[in-house]
Chains A and B, each alone.
Chain A
């Protein structure tokens, strides 16, 4: 992201959806979010990475669901009343792909301008700088902005992971 905002005038912010996973607050650009749905029965799929919780029926489409708790909390999330699936669209090797992210709870939509984003320190966050675009302070605590394409590429694996990054990095 480039910082081209004039001093004094509020920077044009991008809307981000915030949600919590394993006690921490994360955000994704709303432009990548297709919808947020309640947790529905998830069908387990054998022999996939642990982070792939299974597949769900999203109005007739079979969509994989990734458990963010495995990557960001060290353990699969326990389902509660507030658990949600954030359905996102990521660019995977040039093709759009619909993926559900299982999160503990969805919080709010906030505006995050380039000015409010801080670079991610090389260590200290559970997610690590690889899958984060930046972090912001919100009401005294941190919100970590996820790079959805990177997270999905990392969790789902595959030879095209690098290309996803290249695509995601393009303006």
Chain B
């Protein structure tokens, strides 16, 4: 990918100076942990993806129909096709068409995702997210119904008791299985983990809330009990269980039981989408 960035993304020094950029290009490689996933970013300050050139090349190869309208995301996805290259000449570095498709395939094999963001003239960022397979994470264990779940610690911001009257607001959004509570004067939407995972039984009279954050979104997760922080050895879910929604893996607790690791980004995404749909429905 870095090789790709050097050859495709970064322009020649003359072009860069002409565009008002420093003659020397920069490629940044970043890696971090994010809520139970490993994130690797390759960021360049080159020309960005050339939408028209990609489209032209795709048409040439018959990958897209003449006149079809694609949004930027779809266009960027085209470069992931095997053998796709817009480089006009094969160089020492790349251009043989063995590039992004290999990256995409390897990421897919690891059950990860590859996101491409690009601004014309300002560069592009490739973000690879792969689930943790065998690793140790700091987790926060919570109890819901008879189950124990582990929330990756890096997503946890704070814990508090759910105010007794907070449940009342859920009448306004009964389908969401949550509501809004007040956190230091600001509203904080919350979900009941019991509803998220469709667990039976009624919530206990006193519930706790774990405030989690992912990609800048802050949400409370209401649980029955807080068990506290511990290190968790992440076990992959395996072929069947990776289809389960809202969990990234599992770990074995001290008492020998299996606890699932909560996939915070997915749960928040899903809740946000549902919220947006509900809002649209109300307006309609």
Residues in chain A near residue B260, CB distance under 8 A = 43, 45
Contact of B243 with A55 in the complex, beta carbons under 8 Å: no
Q: Mark A117-155, 1 if CB is under 8 A from B, else 0.
A: 000000000000000000000000000000000000000
Contact of B256 with A57 in the complex, beta carbons under 8 Å: yes
Q: Mark B237-250, 1 if CB is under 8 A from A, else 0.
A: 11111011111001
Q: Is B259 at the interface (CB under 8 A from chain A)?
A: yes
In angstroms, Cα B157 to Cα A63, docked, is: 32
How far does the Cβ of A53 sit from chain B's closest Cβ, in whole Å? 12
Checking A43, A47, A56, A60 against B246 with a beta-carbon cut-off of 8 angstroms, the contacting residue is: A47
Q: Is A74 at the interface (CB under 8 A from chain B)?
A: no
In angstroms, Cα B233 to Cα A57, docked, is: 13
In angstroms, Cα B242 to Cα A62, docked, is: 12
22 pairs, A vs B, C-beta closer than 8 Å? A40-B256, A43-B250, A43-B258, A46-B196, A46-B198, A46-B245, A46-B246, A46-B247, A47-B198, A47-B244, A47-B245, A48-B241, A52-B240, A54-B258, A55-B241, A55-B250, A62-B238, A62-B250, A62-B252, A62-B258, A95-B239, A97-B238
Residues of B within 8 A of A (CB): 147, 196-199, 235, 237-241, 243-247, 250, 252, 256-260
Taking A54-B258, A156-B240 as known contacts, 7 extra A-B pairs with beta carbons closer than 8 A to each other, sorted by chain A number, are A43-B250, A43-B257, A46-B244, A55-B241, A55-B258, A62-B241, A158-B239
Which 3 pairs show the lowest CB-CB distances between chains A and B? A47-B245, A43-B258, A46-B197
